Amino acid sequence: MPEKILIIEDEKPISDILRYGLKKAGYDVYAAYRGAEGFQMLLEIRPDLLILDWMLPDIDGVDICRMVTEQVNVPIIMLTAKGSIDDKLAGLSAGADDYITKPFDLREVILRVQAILRRMDRVQKNAEEPEKYAGGVRLYRAEHRVASHGETVTLTPKEYELLIYLLDNPKRAFTRDQLLEHVWGYDYAGDTRTVDIHIQRLRKKLGLSDHLVTVYGVGYRYSPEGDGRQQQKEQ
Ligand code: CA
């Protein structure tokens, strides 16, 4: 599948030249001549790269740049006749990845496009494969991040440590004191209620009620199969 590039540029001769060059370089190229139209196309096409003109008749290119980076993760090359360092910085701080000044050499544009797309490809390939756990929970250990059914869940440092400890020791029951000791350390002044509160929060935030199991008279256990409901019924 060829990578998709969207050009938002109101000057048709410039847009045409870019379109011609990029098509020849093997890309799927789309063109919009107004900012609003371009933004709409971006949401529909989901291009791999956006070439965005600074001066557009309806919306300022820098404003589009901000709108885009708020909603979509796409690299942006700003295109402009302006050459001052202030303008360049404004474009880059609005989220642009690169900057090309008009008049440009088509070969240079293509080289820059290729460089950015290669970089993006590397970033995607380096993305961490998550460890999979019950209930749609995914752990990205290197990123220190937990997701539930594809959505990142914000955990406090202690919630995170407690979760990791239980996940790393599946099917093993721990007393509240053991968990306190491992996660909070010997010096912690709080009581075992702290553990209960953190378990409750983890169950709620991650939808793990069936998997972070209460072991009556003991404490808690991570059950990959999910016997929480079963156990409650037996009570
Ligand atoms: Ca223009």
Q: Is residue 131 part of a domain?
A: no
Whole-angstrom distance, CA of residue 105 vs CA of residue 142: 41
Whether residues 31 and 112 fall in one domain = yes
Instruction: Evaluate if residue 73 carries a pLDDT over 90.
Output: no
Q: Is the pLDDT reported for residue 82 higher than 50?
A: yes
Answer yes or no: do 188 and 110 share one domain.
no
Distance CA 61, CA 29 (A): 19
Find the 36 Cα to ligand 1 centroid distance in Å.
Answer: 14
pTM for the whole thing? 0.57
| Same domain flag for 102 and 155 | no
Query: What is the pLDDT at residue 186?
Result: 67
Whole-number Å distance, alpha carbon 55 to ligand 1 midpoint, is: 4
Query: How far is Cα 229 from Cα 58, in angstroms, rounded to an integer?
Result: 58
Task: Check whether residue 108 and residue 172 sit in a common domain.
Answer: no
Domain final position from 90, 124, 158? 124
Model confidence at 32, pLDDT cuts 50, 70, 90, reads very high
For residue 178, how far is its CA from the centre of ligand 1 (angstroms)?
Answer: 66
On whether residue 53 sits in a domain, the answer given is yes
Query: Tell me: the pLDDT tens digits for 7-18?
Result: 999 999 999 999
Is 132 part of a structural domain of the chain? no
Bond preceding residue 57 cis, omega within 30 of 0: no
Q: How far is the CA of 32 from the centre of ligand 1 (A)?
A: 12
Is position 157 within any domain?
A: yes
11 falls within a domain: yes
Q: Are residues 102 and 200 in the same domain?
A: no
Domain limits for position 220: 148-234
* Percent over 90 (pLDDT), the chain: 60
Res 109: pLDDT? 93
Say whether pLDDT at 207 is over 80. yes
110 Cα–ligand 1 center, Å: 20
Read off the pLDDT of each residue in 140-144 and give the average, rounded to a whole number. Answer: 88
Do residues 18 and 91 share a domain?
A: yes
Q: 156 C-alpha vs ligand 1 centroid, how far in Å?
A: 48
In a domain, 138, yes or no: no
Ligand 1 centroid distance, CA of 100 (Å) = 13
- 172 and 94 part of one domain: no
Q: Let me know whether 179 and 114 are in one domain.
A: no
Centre of ligand 1 from the C-alpha of residue 30, in Å: 17
Q: What is the mean pLDDT of the chain?
A: 88
Look at residue 76 in the predicted model and tell me its pLDDT: 93
Regarding whether 182 and 120 lie in a shared domain, the answer is no
Q: Is residue 137 part of a domain?
A: no
Residue 51 CA from chain centroid, whole number:
22
Is the residue at 133 inside a domain?
A: no
Tell how far the Cα of 9 is from the centroid of ligand 1, in angstroms: 6
C-alpha 67 – ligand 1 centre gap (Å): 18
What's the domain count of the chain? 2
Distance 10 CA to ligand 1 centre (A): 5
**Cα 112 to middle of ligand 1, angstroms:** 20
Higher pLDDT, 96 or 168: 168
Last residue of a domain, one of 124, 140, 170: 124
Residues 36 and 99 in one domain: yes
**DSSP calls for the chain:** -PPEEEEE-S-HHHHHHHHHHHHHTT-EEEEESSHHHHHHHHHHH--SEEEEES--SSS-HHHHHHHHHHH----EEEEES---HHHHHHHHHTT-SEEEESS--HHHHHHHHHHHHHHHHHHHHHSPPPEEEGGGEEEETTTTEEEETTEEE---HHHHHHHHHHHHSTT--EEHHHHIIIII-TT--S-THHHHHHHHHHHHHHT-TTTEEEETTTEEEE-SS--HHHHHHH-
How confident is residue 232, by pLDDT bands cut at 50, 70 and 90? Answer: very low
Q: What is the C-alpha separation between 228 and 226, in angstroms, rounded?
A: 6
Instruction: Indicate whether 34 and 114 sit together in one domain.
Output: yes
91 Cα to the center of ligand 1, angstroms: 15
Q: Are residues 113 and 19 in the same domain?
A: yes
Question: Given this model, what pLDDT does residue 235 score?
Answer: 40
